[in-house]
Structure 1
Amino acid sequence: MFDAMAAIMAQVNPMIGAAVLVFMRIGAFVALLPGFGEQTIPMRLRLAAILAFTLISWPLVAPNLPTDLPPFPALAVLMLIELAIGALMGIAVRLLVMALQIAGAIAAQTTAVSQMAGVAVTPEPMPAIGNALVLAGLALALAAGLPAQAVRAIAESYTVFPAGVLPVAGDVAQWGVARVADAFALGLTLAAPFVIAAFGYNLALGFLNRAMPALMVAFVGAPAITAGALLLLMLAAPLILNVWHDRLSATLEAPWALPQ
């Protein structure tokens, strides 16, 4: 009986070690994934989501996992490498959420709504417009199949980054700079309707002030810019979210690729 148990354990131990490697990559990725890695979600639920993603992805990536695992010191190095790869993939997706936050901050500042509507009480303080865009974007992503896209990204990542192979530092640096620049560019692009509207509003307000110096244009224009910003948000939010979700889907298809 003991010989049979020893034979079973000899077969199970490599499987457990491979599952731990998968858990490390998925854990870092899901911890930064929109909707699953938010600070408002309790840690137990996030851990349950990571375990669920691991159980789903493990059979898909099992052929790409090493069969003979090294002893513990070398295994710890492999775990750190898997953690780093998962974190890089998660950062690529998390930067898109930051792009929504940047767009909301720019829109609120240019339309003066950030002072009037206040700052939303969230783990990451941001103007009310930014909070509305982020919540709407997360809801859209989850409703459009974000978990399935994440599982596919995890499965395909093992063909680009084999288990235990550390990415080249120079390539990672180039990728990181490109991703950060793309996030800021996307945020400004999404906020473009508010920037253009605010420019036209301030230009018209300046002409009005020159034509009627005695008129308190600030008191007249404040309600107009607030109402205009809310109306523009209602009209532009669907287009903004569609553009953002298309970029999110493209990123999940290849988080390791340079942005186009």
Structure 2
Amino acid sequence: MIEVPPALIALATQELWQMLGVFLRVSAVVSLMPAFGERSIPVRVKLAIAIVFALIVAPAVGEMPLPASPLGFAAFAIPEILVGLALGVAIRLFVLALQTAGSIAAQATSLSQFLGGAGEPLPAMGMLLALAGTTLALILGLHVRAAAFLIHSYTLFPAGDLPVPSDMARWGVAQVARSFGLAFTLATPFVIASLLYNLALGVINRAMPQLMVAFVGAPAITMAGLFLLFICTPVILPVWVDAMFAFLADPAGAP
């Protein structure tokens, strides 16, 4: 019978604990990350993705001390999961910003019910922008930037340390404000087109009260909305991807 040296057992135990400690945070982030954490992806695939990210991140993180008791493990695991969820929600807000921009654009151009029941309960514009934006982010290396983001997160939030609630609250509010500001910025062309359309409709209605301007204007605003979507999407998506990648590079930066 081969006797295993105690030093080798201690090394294996430390490496397994390092992997488990990183997995706690990484799995929480991956469960909410765009593309990797979508509801349409099976749970087993998400688990495999989280394990792969943990294998990438673990060697770049400082050594984590082994907990001396189950209570010590709980004291380590709870902050890690909470930090992972907070970081995951912050990234997820960018997808919600794109969906909100699509909803604003659809409401402004009378396309909110066009294919609104297909898939998620979102207008077609929101679904299209979210899918296209996520695809573009993956093509531009979202997985690489996400791995760097996870490694950098241990500098901002050391392993096992519970963040100060007041600081996390301010940071979270700033991310939500950034999300809504980004959503309205992306939908600005559609809002401006809707404003001009309603002003023109009001002038025409005052000039010719007998004309049913709604029947004339509805096809016009629908066509204008689709045309704006066609010409603005190549501009909207890069702006959104740049904003998300800037956050991944510096999560603590000012919105």
TM range (shorter): over 0.9
Out of 139, 142, 145, the position equivalent to 1:143 is 139
Q: CA offset at residue 4 of structure 1?
A: 2.2
> Using the alignment, how far apart are the partners of 1:210 and 1:174 within structure 2?
49
> What stretches of structure 1 of length at least 5 have no aligned partner?
none
> Using the alignment, how far apart are the partners of 1:70 and 1:50 within structure 2?
26
Structure 2 match to 1:259 = 254
> Using the alignment, how far apart are the partners of 1:197 and 1:155 within structure 2?
43
Secondary structure at 1:119 match in 2: coil
Structure 1 match to 2:212 = 216
> Using the alignment, how far apart are the partners of 1:247 and 1:201 within structure 2?
30
Q: CA offset at residue 223 of structure 1?
A: 0.8
AA of the residue aligned to 1:218: A
> Using the alignment, how far apart are the partners of 1:162 and 1:206 within structure 2?
59
Q: Is the counterpart of residue 119 in structure 1 residue 106 in structure 2?
A: no
Asked if 2 retains the 8 angstrom alpha-carbon contact of 1:118 and 1:128, the reply is yes
Q: CA offset at residue 16 of structure 1?
A: 1.1
Secondary structure at 2:210 match in 1: coil
Q: CA offset at residue 159 of structure 1?
A: 1.6
Structure 2 match to 1:8 = 8
AA of the residue aligned to 1:105: S
1:35-184 equivalences under 5 Å are: 35-61=35-61, 64-115=62-113, 117-122=114-119, 124-184=120-180
TM-score of the two chains, using structure 2 as the length reference: 0.95
> Using the alignment, how far apart are the partners of 2:117 and 2:95 within structure 1?
16
> Using the alignment, how far apart are the partners of 2:7 and 2:171 within structure 1?
45
> Using the alignment, how far apart are the partners of 1:246 and 1:160 within structure 2?
22
Asked if 2 retains the 8 angstrom alpha-carbon contact of 1:65 and 1:163, the reply is no
Q: CA offset at residue 194 of structure 1?
A: 0.3
Q: CA offset at residue 150 of structure 1?
A: 0.5
AA of the residue aligned to 1:160: L
Report Cα offsets for 1:104-142 as digits up to 9, x if no partner. Answer: 111111111113x131423x4110000000001000100
AA of the residue aligned to 2:81: L
- Identical columns (%): 48
Count residues in correspondence: 255
> Using the alignment, how far apart are the partners of 1:120 and 1:141 within structure 2?
26
> Using the alignment, how far apart are the partners of 2:67 and 2:156 within structure 1?
20
Compare the two structures and name the one with the higher helix fraction: 1
> Using the alignment, how far apart are the partners of 1:191 and 1:43 within structure 2?
33
> What stretches of structure 2 of length at least 5 have no aligned partner?
none
TM-score of the two chains, using structure 1 as the length reference: 0.94
Asked if 1 retains the 8 angstrom alpha-carbon contact of 2:28 and 2:85, the reply is yes
Secondary structure at 1:126 match in 2: coil
Q: CA offset at residue 65 of structure 1?
A: 2.6
> Using the alignment, how far apart are the partners of 1:83 and 1:43 within structure 2?
18
Q: CA offset at residue 258 of structure 1?
A: 4.6
Query: How big is the alpha-carbon RMSD for the aligned residues of Structure 1 and Structure 2?
Result: 1.5
Q: CA offset at residue 238 of structure 1?
A: 1.1
Structure 2 match to 1:247 = 243
